[in-house]
Amino acid sequence: MVHWNTTAAQGAQAAQAAQAAQGAQIEIRDSLPVSDASGRPVNSGWARKPLFQYNAAQMRGPIRRITESDRYVIFSSTYMLILEVLDGGLLGHIGVSLISLMDKNRSTQTFSLPFSMGSLNMPSDSETGSVKIRYKQWMIEFAAMEGGARIIKVDIPNFDRRRYLRGAVVLTPPSQAESLVTNVSWRGEKNAFRLSLHAPCYAAEGVMQLGASELFFAKGGAWGILDWNRGSRPRSDIRFWAAACGSSGGRQIGFSVGYGSADSSLGTDNAFFVDGMLHKLDQVTFHISPSNWLLPWRFTSNDNRLEMIFVPHQERFEHNQVLLHSLKRRQVCGSFSGKVILDDGSPLVFENVTGMAERRKTRF
């Protein structure tokens, strides 16, 4: 059982209320729980490191609505590898996608796990613990290492029913790197919330064996993104998210931007990272052609600090369903170019940074 400093929590909540009254996002600077003593979501806002304390056993509402996922996006100039483990209560999911960025081929294999209900043993802390899945002949492991590094291990004998995929990649953050952590709730859904950590700032190094071929991820030319989520989902949700990582002008850059049906007024999913340091953005809008998602996208922010163009080159559709619960995802990858105004007022121009964008719909 975690014991909280009640006086500190009350003081932090009073400061949050003052910021909220001014219509400002709330930056959390002290460790706070995501639920109160009765299990109701509290302490909405954002932080630069994992300050929010999460415990699924303390959440209010049925266990079938608890959703926990770890996803990594690892890529070089030639390949992108997306690995995801999701425990969605009624519907679990293990997915691996390997995308050739040169010839635009994609191999994807997924397994649905009906009624996972916490059986995947996802850690409650993003900084420690590991996810280790053995399913049929598959083995996937995500392990948090000392100093903030991550190691990703894969052993899939029949990837996409043709070749084995096995190997390991180490993800290393810059020194004293920050991450974007948000805790948001839903209006009208008193028990629903999402705690997210986005870290688009890892350097990747390792090798994956794909049949007779070797996929090299060399430090300085390969990158990684972490998308970590815990919470209790609403009856339905729609969410847009995009992220990228790379280098520009000798500096490591990355970003995470997104929005959806959750109430993000106190803490958006939007930030730019330079050498691991976070520069917070307010609301970001995705401008997408409704008729063709492979046409260029435009991204703008209401604080006029971000102007960005995304050039997609391939897309993927996914639909998983069990009983009345469904998950639909439309995902594209490509390159981002644009300009961002950093916290000190200086502009940063970037070109052709590799990343991905998606729309995800869930219904319960």
Let me know if residue 235 belongs to a domain: yes
Helix (H, G, I), strand (E, B) or coil at 275: coil
Separation between Cα atoms, residue 244 and residue 93, nearest integer Å = 23
Render pLDDT for 226-277 as a digit per residue (tens, 0 to 9).
Answer: 999 999 999 899 999 999 999 998 999 999 999 999 999 999 999 999 999 9
Do the domain assignments include residue 278? yes
Q: How confident is the prediction for the chain on average, in pLDDT?
A: 90
Residue 332: inside a domain: yes
3-state secondary structure of 4: coil
pLDDT at 206: 98
**pLDDT of res. 20:** 44
Residue 173, judged by CB atoms within 10 A of its CB (0-12, 13-18, 19+), counts as buried
The answer to whether residue 1 sits within a structural domain is no
pLDDT the model gives residue 61: 80
| End-to-end alpha carbon distance in the chain | 30
- 3-state SS class at 283: coil
Tell me the chain's radius of gyration from C-alpha atoms: 20
Structure token pair of residue 152: 């990703």
**Domain count for the chain:** 1
Instruction: Count other Cβ atoms within 10 Å, centred on residue 57.
Output: 10
Q: Is residue 111 part of a domain?
A: yes
Domain-embedded: residue 190:
yes
Tell me the two tokens of residue 4: 């909280």
pLDDT at 23: 53
What are the residue ranges in the chain where pLDDT is below 70? 1-23
Domain that holds residue 18: 6-363
In eight-state DSSP terms, residue 199 is E
